[in-house]
């Protein structure tokens, strides 16, 4: 169903309707609308600030043709003859940078001024020279008065006397506890059984150490190289100096160059006897203490550990007939010249070796010392005390150490006629590589292996000849 639009009111028809007799949208003869009202002129201050130059005077927001009847403005500082060159007025003037704005503060007079926080300050540059001099003089005067007062007070004070009769210093009531087995405990027990051995040959002399092995009979064990220079020499003197500082002449009971062991005897009763241990119980890493007279310093104690066992060491020295190879106990306890013949002691206070040598490039201790095992010392000392001499087994060969990069051994240089080696068929140029199944890697190890047996014992010797290995039996002789 069609609905007709609502009828328009006369006002709407007048406002929006098409005039009569007009076919198009607009009529060419429409009445001209009234002109808009003319705005009032701008204030005088705005005109002075923003009006254009007089030569091209136009009103503010005026059309290009200008406003008829130009209005004259009042003369002011902005309308001078150089207004076109004024950078504040000329829009085409170049821009430039200047320094910062500086505001001068009011200068305050007088030495006392007020800072920006309102606090009063003394300005030294405003003080007069006379006032400055007076201040300095006052400071100096005060310092002089203080020093004089201090001096007078110290001079007039009573001084305490230098001496104070009857003074007793404090003393601790509790003693220091030393655990059994400590170095101090071992030194306290063993040091009285270690002596210094002094050897005099005319104007020359030497020192070493010794250990009391039989206090009841005055027997002392030491190294052969310590006393060998005095044996059989007229006027030579050997003296043993004990822990308490007393001394006694000593006689040679016997000495053994093949083991570097010697025994002395002194006529002094009630000597403390050292406890002798067992070399077989010693293991690498055991703590040890070396006691002796290194560099002539009696009763010196050093400590360390057992760093190796069964170390073959050749012993020989100038001025001595010692020519021995020992299976040594190696230690890092510092040992120096003069320690020779002294005791190497374990943690139980037992002597496990007699210090005899050091390994050094310059003659000083470098942490490698060697001691004769106490089992060897005991055996040799018992023989010397009993008979005055010691017996050793001998194979009857001279050898030197060799290696072929695969196996080490002892090369036989010569064979003594009629010796145990000759009877066993050992020849020159044979290389001995084992004794009784124990490997032999050097001439020193061969000597140690043979010396571990008694004369008359039979040993098996493995050797290499012409590139083939064979084993022979040898009955050891007496050296």
CA distance 120 to 210: 91
CA distance 58 to 42: 12
Percent composition of the chain: helix, strand, coil (DSSP 3-state, to 5): 20, 30, 50
**Residues 80-100: tens digit of each pLDDT:** 666 555 656 555 555 555 555
Burial of 158 (0-12, 13-18, 19+ CB in 10 A): exposed
Residues 463 and 469: beta-carbon distance below 8 Å: yes
What's the pLDDT band for 318 if we cut at 50, 70, 90? low
CA distance 243 to 298: 8
What's the pLDDT band for 202 if we cut at 50, 70, 90? confident
- The tokens describing 214, both together, are 């039989």
Q: What is the mean pLDDT of residues 378-388?
A: 94
Residues 451 and 393: beta-carbon distance below 8 Å: yes
The reported pLDDT for the residue numbered 365 is 62
Q: Sign of the C-alpha dihedral, residues 343, 344, 347, 352?
A: negative
**Residues 141-155: tens digit of each pLDDT:** 998 898 888 877 776
CA distance 357 to 375: 18
**Among residues of the chain, what percentage have pLDDT more than 70?**
76
> Can you tell me which residue has the tokens 């201040």?
135
Whether residue 414 has pLDDT greater than 90: yes
Q: What is the mean pLDDT of residues 281-308?
A: 93
Whether residue 327 has pLDDT greater than 90: yes
What's the pLDDT band for 34 if we cut at 50, 70, 90? confident
Torsion of CA 8, 11, 12, 16, to 10 degrees: 130
Which is catalytic among the residues 228, 259, 260, 303? 260
Whether residue 266 has pLDDT greater than 90: yes
N- to C-terminal Cα separation, the chain: 156
**Residues 425-463: tens digit of each pLDDT:** 999 999 999 999 999 999 999 999 999 999 999 999 999
DSSP 22-70: --SSS-TTPPPPPPPPPPPPPPHHHHHHHPPPGGG---TT--TT--SSP
Cα 439 from chain centroid (whole Å) = 43
- Which residue, among 246, 229, 297, has the nearest Cα to 238 in the 3D structure? 229
Whether residue 362 has pLDDT greater than 70: no
The reported pLDDT for the residue numbered 63 is 59
The reported pLDDT for the residue numbered 133 is 77
- Which residue, among 479, 453, 319, has the nearest Cα to 394 in the 3D structure? 479
Whether residue 27 has pLDDT greater than 80: no
Question: What pairs with residue 458 in β-bridges?
Answer: 475
- The tokens describing 198, both together, are 């002094």
List Cβ neighbours of 153 (8 Å cut-off, separation of 6 or more): none
Residues 284 and 307: beta-carbon distance below 8 Å: yes
- Say which range, 240-254, 336-350, 354-368, has the weakest mean pLDDT: 354-368
392 is catalytic: no
DSSP 189-219: HHGGGEEEEEEEETTEEEEEEEEEEETTTTE
**Among residues of the chain, what percentage have pLDDT more than 90?**
48
DSSP 397-448: EEEEEEE-SS-EEEEEEEE-TTSHHHHHT--TT-EEEEETTEE--SHHHHHH
List Cβ neighbours of 298 (8 Å cut-off, separation of 6 or more): 196, 241
The reported pLDDT for the residue numbered 436 is 94
Query: Is residue 259 helix, strand or coil?
Result: coil
Which is catalytic among the residues 327, 340, 365, 442? 340
The reported pLDDT for the residue numbered 242 is 94
What's the pLDDT band for 352 if we cut at 50, 70, 90? very high
172 is catalytic: no
DSSP 228-242: GGGTT-TT-EEEEE-
Whether residue 476 has pLDDT greater than 60: yes
- The tokens describing 328, both together, are 């040594």
Which is catalytic among the residues 196, 209, 225, 443? 225
Q: Which of 329 and 70 is assigned the larger pLDDT?
A: 329
**Residues 37-80: tens digit of each pLDDT:** 888 877 877 777 776 665 555 555 555 566 655 555 545 555 56
Whether residue 1 has pLDDT greater than 60: no
225 is catalytic: yes
The reported pLDDT for the residue numbered 400 is 94
Residues 302 and 201: beta-carbon distance below 8 Å: no
């Amino acid at each position: 169903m069609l609905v007709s639009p609502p009828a328009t009111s006369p006002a709407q028809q007048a406002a929006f309707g098409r005039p009569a007799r007009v076919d198009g949208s607009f009529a060419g003869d429409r009445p001209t609308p009234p002109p808009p009202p003319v705005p009032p002129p701008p204030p005088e201050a705005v005109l002075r600030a923003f009006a254009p130059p007089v030569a091209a005077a136009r009103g503010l927001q005026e059309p290009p043709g200008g406003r008829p009847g130009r209005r004259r403005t009042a003369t002011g500082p902005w309308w001078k003859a150089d207004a076109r060159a004024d950078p504040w007025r000329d829009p085409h003037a170049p821009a430039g940078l200047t320094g910062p704005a500086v505001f001068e503060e009011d200068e305050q007079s007088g030495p006392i001024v007020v800072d920006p926080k309102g606090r009063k300050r003394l300005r030294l540059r405003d003080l007069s020279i006379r006032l400055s001099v007076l201040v300095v003089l006052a400071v100096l005067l005060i310092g002089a008065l203080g020093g004089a007062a201090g001096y007078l007070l110290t001079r007039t004070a009573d001084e305490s006397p230098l001496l104070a009769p009857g003074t007793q210093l404090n003393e601790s009531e509790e003693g220091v506890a030393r655990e059994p087995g400590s170095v101090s405990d071992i030194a306290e027990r063993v040091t009285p059984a270690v002596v210094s051995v002094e050897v005099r040959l005319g104007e020359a002399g030497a020192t070493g150490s010794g250990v009391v092995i039989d206090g009841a009979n005055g027997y002392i064990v030491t190294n052969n190289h310590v006393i060998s220079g005095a044996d059989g020499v007229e006027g030579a003197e050997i003296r043993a100096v004990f822990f308490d500082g007393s001394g006694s002449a000593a006689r040679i009971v016997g000495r053994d160059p093949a083991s570097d062991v010697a025994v002395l005897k002194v006529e002094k009763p009630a000597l403390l006897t050292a406890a002798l241990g067992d070399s077989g119980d010693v293991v690498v890493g055991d703590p040890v203490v070396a006691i002796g007279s290194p560099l002539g310093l009696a009763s010196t104690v050093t400590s360390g550990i057992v760093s190796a066992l069964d170390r073959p060491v050749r012993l020989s020295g100038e001025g001595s007939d010692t020519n021995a190879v020992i299976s040594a106990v190696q230690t890092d306890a510092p040992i120096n010249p003069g320690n020779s013949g002294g005791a190497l002691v374990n943690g139980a206070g037992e002597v496990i070796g007699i210090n005899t040598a050091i390994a050094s490039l310059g003659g000083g201790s470098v942490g490698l010392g060697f001691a004769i095992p106490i089992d060897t010392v005991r055996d040799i000392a018992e023989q010397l005390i009993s008979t005055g001499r010691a017996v050793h087994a001998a194979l009857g060969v001279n050898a030197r150490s060799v290696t072929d990069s695969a196996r080490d051994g002892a090369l036989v240089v010569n064979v003594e006629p009629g010796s145990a080696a000759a009877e066993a068929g050992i020849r020159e140029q044979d290389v001995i590589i084992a004794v009784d199944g124990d490997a032999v890697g050097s001439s020193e190890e061969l000597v140690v292996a043979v010396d571990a047996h008694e004369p008359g014992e039979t040993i098996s010797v493995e050797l290499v000849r012409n590139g083939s290995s064979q084993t022979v039996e040898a009955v050891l002789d007496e050296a």
